[in-house]
Amino acid sequence: MQKTWNLRKYDNDLVKRIQDTYDVSEIMAKLMIARNIEFDEINNFLKGSLDDLKDPYDLKDMEKLVDRIDRAIKNNEKICIYGDYDVDGITSITIMYQFLTKLGAHVMYYLPDRLIEGYGINNNALDEIKDKGVTLVITVDCGITAISEVEHAKEIGLDICITDHHECAETIPDAVAIVNPKRRDSNYNFRLLAGVGVAFKTITAISMKYNLPKEEYLRFIDIVAIGTISDIVPLIGENRIISKYGLKAMAQTENIGLKALIKLVNAKEMDSMMVSFGMAPRINACGRMGNASAAVKLLLEKNEAKAEQMALGLDELNQERKNVETIIYEDALNMIKEKGLESKNSIVLYNSSWHNGVIGIVASRLVNMYYKPVILLTKEHGTIRGSGRCPIGFSIYDALTECKESVIQFGGHELAAGLSLEEEKIEEFIIAFEIASSKRSESLSEQIIEVDAEVQRKDLNGQLIKDIRMMKPYGQSNQVPVFLYKGLKVNAIRTIKDEKHLKLVLKDDKSLIDAIGFSMGQRRDEIRIGDRVDVVGTIELNSYNTPKTIQILLQDFKKSVE
């Protein structure tokens, strides 16, 4: 797939104005503009503190929610926290359960089994919860679409309060309270909180009602950051503040289970990459492979030795997930080759034995390889279920909308979706999805790399590294900056790690610059020593060298145009 480099253009007057007003470098000013940070919000982006978090009572229904929880605590009612089985849901349950328990509330929690119950509230679970003496259910990271389930709860004598962050339809459930920043009638001016962010706002509001010190809710900021970063919400506004200070708090965390997880991950730095690629897969693994309660139990554990054993258990589940993922991935590659799907506009594959908790991850890997929409289907309890992913620029949700006659149901958003269909309609669906994909094929004709700025040797200094670090934590809507560097002479070429990765030494005048291209080993023969190349990539300080040196992490390269 041909990659196009899009070097951003800037209004020089605006760049200079930002430099002068906020005393930042030219590159930092450009990064602010590239991330669509409004001029008046730049100081908050760079220096925002926990004191800048918004008043939780600005969220619609927050007062109703707090009053109902207060009444439940005073009347010694049994409360159930009902969550989702991903990291966002698990961390939401953890902070709500711990906080309410410390207040003296009678609390239990419930996590649906991904493989048996699926996502969200279900009536059987509500019946089971009611039989345990619960009178109040508080959802976290789910519930906003549960109209019929809330009606069922009312019929059996359960009050339900919903805290969620997913998109709201025109009609929402008739719950006691619904706290969701995406409510259409909400005036809350930050809509992008994760589910755990809404849960955090809830315990903040309760603390304010009870006149508790800030420490009573801020001690959970590390757990809130894990859920926020893992849910891939935009790391701007309140999410940026939560993530930034949550990552700092992890270094001194008092949560025994989190300490065990940090020790297991063994990351060299507490950053969003450590959460996304170290913690999140392990926490998610138990939900993908079975019941997610193991992760909640870890984060609630008080005994250090037990916590370390539980963390190892999550690690083993994650390894099992990886093994299953590898098998499915290799199966899929063989099927793509056998069916000649490389030339199609879409890839849809079915295997009744594939694990439903893992096919979404494999679909993402295939999208990265083939740069086209991918849907993997498997059989579960007699129904065909699927998980789809697609590249940026293609809306898999819109494509599935055109195929709705071939499916039982589907849901999701632009880049990811889930669906179910009848087995006899698989071929019909494959044809329909290919037609829908062909209409959108032009949007995938090229892979675009957004480049923030062009740099030269004089720019590779301590100030640039300082600027890059000041932009942390990185995540959705605040990606690691990508730079263009032109006219570098290739001084050395080699492959490393079984020829998987490409290692270059590049020369600019008398200066040598290291560059590494992960999974680019197959491109070794595209260039020769002495060639001039242009490169795009991220820039970091290589801490393995002594003294430390700046290196480029390649995203792409091409021969320079003379």
What residues does 559 pair with on adjacent strands?
A: 533
Stronger pLDDT, 86 or 434, i.e. the higher one: 434
In angstroms, rounded to a whole number, what is the distance separating the alpha carbons of residues 37 and 42?
6
What residues does 6 pair with on adjacent strands?
A: 450
* Phi/psi of residue 542, nearest 5 degrees: -80, 100
pLDDT tens digits, residue range 277-318?
899 999 988 877 767 789 999 999 999 999 999 999 999 999
Lowest mean pLDDT across 18-22, 284-288, 532-536: 284-288
In angstroms, rounded to a whole number, what is the distance separating the alpha carbons of residues 71 and 198?
20
Which residue reads 């990508």 in tokens? 482
Region 438-443: mean pLDDT is 81
Region 367-374: mean pLDDT is 91
Share of the chain above pLDDT 70, in %: 97
Domain ranges of the chain: 3-8+449-559, 52-313, 340-445
What residues does 417 pair with on adjacent strands?
A: 388, 412
Residue 287: per-residue pLDDT: 78
* Phi/psi of residue 83, nearest 5 degrees: -125, 180
- What is the H or E stretch that residue 504 is in? strand 501-508
In angstroms, rounded to a whole number, what is the distance separating the alpha carbons of residues 190 and 253?
27
In angstroms, rounded to a whole number, what is the distance separating the alpha carbons of residues 516 and 511?
17
CATH class of 52-313: alpha beta
Residue 118 has pLDDT above 70, yes or no: no
Q: Where are the extended beta strands (E) located within 299-452?
A: 347-350, 374-380, 383-389, 409-412, 416-421, 447-451
Region 506-518: mean pLDDT is 92
pLDDT tens digits, residue range 447-486?
789 999 999 999 999 899 999 999 999 998 899 999 999 9
Residue 445: per-residue pLDDT: 60
Tell me the whole-structure pTM to 2 decimals: 0.88
Fold topology of 3-8+449-559: OB fold (Dihydrolipoamide Acetyltransferase, E2P) (2.40.50)
Region 130-150: mean pLDDT is 94
Helix (H, G, I), strand (E, B), or coil: what is residue 516?
strand
CB distance 375 to 387 below 8 Å: yes
The torsion of the CA quartet 340, 341, 342, 343, rounded to 10 degrees, works out to 90
Q: In what order do the strands lie in the sheet with 159-163?
A: 106-110, 78-83, 134-140, 159-163, 177-179
Residue 546: per-residue pLDDT: 60
Residue 545 has pLDDT above 70, yes or no: no
CB distance 371 to 444 below 8 Å: yes
Same fold yes or no, 52-313 and 340-445: no
What residues does 541 pair with on adjacent strands?
A: 550
By CB atoms closer than 10 A (0-12, 13-18, 19+), residue 393 is middle
Region 239-248: mean pLDDT is 96
CB distance 232 to 282 below 8 Å: no
> Which letter does DSSP use for residue 475 in this model?
B
Reported as a pLDDT band with limits 50, 70 and 90, residue 57 is very high
Instruction: Please choose, from the candidates 189, 182, 265, the residue with its C-alpha nearest in 3D space to the C-alpha of residue 226.
Output: 265
pLDDT tens digits, residue range 180-204?
999 989 999 999 999 999 999 999 9
In angstroms, rounded to a whole number, what is the distance separating the alpha carbons of residues 525 and 122?
56
Which residue reads 């989702």 in tokens? 84
What separation, in Å, do the N-terminal and C-terminal C-alpha atoms of the chain show?
A: 24
Residue 1 has pLDDT above 60, yes or no: no
By CB atoms closer than 10 A (0-12, 13-18, 19+), residue 137 is buried
Reported as a pLDDT band with limits 50, 70 and 90, residue 541 is confident
Architecture of the CATH domain 340-445: Roll (3.10)
Residue 125: per-residue pLDDT: 93
Residue 115: per-residue pLDDT: 65
Residue 8 has pLDDT above 90, yes or no: yes
Residue 168: per-residue pLDDT: 81
Share of the chain above pLDDT 90, in %: 76
Average per-residue pLDDT in the chain?
Answer: 92
